[in-house]
Structure 1
């Protein structure tokens, strides 16, 4: 995998999971927890996100094949999904999954760390789609091996952001969170257009000849 593809994968993945944008939801879920309990939740959440993305990377294509979905069609669908997320982020709208009162009142730290914090708040459809799409660019064992550190680095950013949620929120404020979210949204918007174009080119050979 070329260096440009690796960087693009990391930026796209980090933009989709958007750990800074998830801070308000995280703080709301953990406002009644002790510092130790927060650390435990962050650890469980990070592990859950990493496992979800690794599974998507290695067997995501097989899952698509099982349901008879082509990579081109999934790329277009994933691009449209990410495009929708990007426009919402740019407009400072809430792109996070809504939580039920039962989930908010759940006393199990482990369960909340996995659902809804890890899935679908961070490792949601957008992150899973991005991982599966970029997996198609892996052509050698070295590429597959290098993809693991990229996933790990993205999850490490999530861990650092959540473990320092209070400090980050106090320093950047809501305005800083909104600005960061909009900038990441711009990156995603451009990447989603490229995904849709490449997917259509795969489905429609005549379009591929024009690119």
Structure 2
């Protein structure tokens, strides 16, 4: 695999898994009641946390997983349960009350992790690092990680324009829709975790 092809593969894979455009409705639902400054702070914190988590697992991911004795299925199951709790808050309207006074909380969970730095992104980065055969390849992986997080920040930072268009009523509708979408993502993660364990037992 050539260097150009390798960097494109890494960037495209991380873009698809982390899905910057897909985070917009959930980001707006969680930050719709905040002012512009708070939304900007949430975008910075979520991006920084995601970058930190992804970088950590790029450097020490395999060692961490081996030391703790966990696997992808466990990460997926935990992430799914966490997202399911958040989706229930969005659907019942509790998110407006619980997150309005806690910008850092929603930036860390669920935005920073597990939505951005989730099981899929973590595992993909670990695999790309394992596949790297030279210092240049490691550099490409690092640049791809930084690039995708710059894109994520810009997408969230400028999605605030939609808040002015949607206004309060539109944000409430978007919140409920986001709750359904988030619940679907959560169920998919849990289902993948269950299937992962089923395959392990079948191969045992």
**TM-score interval, normalised by the smaller of the two chains:** 0.5 to 0.7
Residues 35-65 of structure 1 show CA distances to partners (whole Å, capped at 9, x for unaligned) of xxx4433333322222211111111362784
Partners of 1:162 and 1:10 in 2: CA distance:
20
- CA distance 1:84–1:3, change in 2 (3 Å): same
Which of 100, 115, 123 is 2:112 aligned to?
123
State the match for 2:122 in structure 1.
Answer: 132
1: CA distance, partners of 2:12 / 2:152: 16
Task: Give the secondary-structure state (helix, strand or coil) at the position aligned to 2:19.
Answer: helix
Give the paired residue count: 183
Q: Identify unmatched segments of 5+ residues in structure 2.
A: 1-8
- The 3 A distance-change label for structure 1 pair 97 and 116 is farther
* CA shift in 2, pair 1:23/1:49, >3 Å: closer
Aligned CA-pair RMSD: 4.2
Partner of residue 107, structure 1: none
After superposition, where does 1:94-173 map in structure 2 within 5 Å?
99=98, 104=101, 113=103, 115-125=104-114, 127-130=116-119, 131-138=121-128, 139-140=131-132, 141=137, 142-162=140-160, 164-170=162-168, 172-173=170-171
Cα distance, 1:126 vs structure 2 = 5.1
**How many Å apart are 1:182 and its aligned residue?**
1.6
| Over 6 Å off, 4+ runs | none
Question: Comparing both structures, which one devotes a greater share of its residues to helix?
Answer: 2
Asked if structure 1 preserves the Cα contact closer than 8 Å seen for 2:18 and 2:115, the reply is: no
1:33 is matched with: none
Q: Is the 8 A contact 1:45 1:117 kept in 2?
A: yes
CA spacing shift, 1:158–1:21, aligned 2, 3 Å: same
Shift of 1:80: 1.1
TM-score by length of 2: 0.62
Counterparts of 1:167-186 in structure 2, within 5 Å, are 167-170=165-168, 172-186=170-184
What's the TM-score once normalised by structure 1's chain length?
0.61
Is 1:92 matched up with 2:87?
A: no
Counterpart CA distance in 1 for 2:151 and 2:80 is 24
Question: Structure 2: how far apart are the matches of 1:149 and 1:46?
Answer: 16
Q: Which runs of 5+ in 1 are unaligned?
A: 31-37, 105-111
Mapped contact 2:25–2:178 kept (Cα < 8 A) = no
